[in-house]
Amino acid sequence: MCLSLLLVGNHSFMENGKFTFVTLSEDQAGRRLDKILKSYCPFLSQGEIEKSLRSKMVRLNMKKARSDIKPEIGDILRYPAFWDKNVKKLPNKKISKELPKDYILYEDKAIMVLNKPSGLAVQGGSGTEHHLDQMLESLPKRNSYRPSSVHRLDRDTSGCLLIAKKRNIAATLGEYFRSRQIDKFYVAVVSGLPDQNAGLIDKAIIKSRLRGPNEICHIADEDQDGAQKAETLFLELDRSEAYRASLMLLKPLTGRTHQLRVHMQSQGHPILGDNKYGSETRDFLSHHNLKKILYLHAIKISFIHPEDNNQVTYNAPLPDYFSEILRKFGFSKAALSDKANYDLLNIDMMKTYF
């Protein structure tokens, strides 16, 4: 087991300072620390996790932590780099690939903004052999910190993903997420024609007991045990009467697992190609000779740059299959570049006009 092998050479290992530092993402916030550790080293036993925490080989924000603690967005997890080596040596484990240059939308000394493709998981877990974190491992470390994502996109969602290249930058961006200082915008093609063309979806979400690829979420009462408050602003950009489908601009105000997908399903308008919350739409796509894939794309991200304090905005070009459905359904591409539509998606404007 990876920890028992590690403890044999514990003293020299600690002296050499060989640790991996990762920034915990939006989707990891609220999960138990032992479950997060399992996602990085899935063959650790619970006993080995407890030993590593008691011996301070695993730390959260450089402090001793318990297995049942639930970290926040942007917290820094430190664990032995030896664990990564053991994961790579697992039978049939795919070798980490380098990060493709065409994924990079923007890069400076502090951050990277990537255009993640659909089908690529951000982090590893049960049954996930190939993920973005593997690619980030190929990048150089700075003061023992390797570039790490500060939020997550679902495996099947494409688009803007923010990466911190320094530990202090990760902490700052984590605080931005907690205080809602980062605006994320998504474009989606949904089934049906909404009665209301703009507004706020304020429905709590609860996770099932399933984890990994089978994890599913549901709308819940806010006072239900385990329910998490979830808010999404939406604006209909265009609609196709012929195909009974709509082009939507979405802005999550919270960062719950599968939030946009669950919220659109709850409105009776699941996102096309969603195999969890709109599986019936995949037959619709096949019927119209369109790619059976989730039509949800993180098109824009906007925030204050943590080093120069300037407002920055980055846009992720649409994948080819997304451009194809816009063309086929006759949706306006101009609506996606109209700044007024993005400005409208704020809570005060919604209260004023809708």
Given 34, 154, 156, 238, the catalytic residue: 154
Pairing status of strand 59-60 against strand 76-80: antiparallel
Pick from 295, 157, 266: nearest CA to 206: 266
Pick from 127, 180, 189: nearest CA to 157: 189
Pick from 91, 100, 85: nearest CA to 135: 100
Q: Which two tokens stand for residue 173?
A: 């961006």
What is the spatial distance between Cα 264 and Cα 251, in angstroms, rounded to a whole number?
12
**What is the 3-class SS of the chain, one letter each residue?**
CHHHHHHHCHHHHHHHCCEEEEECCCCCCCCCHHHHHHHHCCCCCHHHHHHHHHCCCCEECCECCCCCCCCCCCCEEEEEHHHHHHHHCCCCCCCCCCCCHHHEEEECCCEEEEEECCCCECCCECCECCEHHHHHCCCCCECCECCEECCCCCCCCEEEEEEECCHHHHHHHHHHHHCCCCEEEEEEEEECCCCCCEEEEECEEEECCCCHHHCCEEEECCCCCCCECCEEEEEEEEEECCCCEEEEEEEECCCCCCHHHHHHHHCCCCECCCCCCCCHHHHHHHHCCCCCCCCEEEEEEEEECCCCCCEEEEECCCCHHHHHHHHHHCCCCHHHHCHHHHHHCCHHHHHHHC
Pick from 21, 308, 249, 311: nearest CA to 150: 21
Does 133 qualify as catalytic in the annotation?
Answer: no
Residues tagged active-site: 154
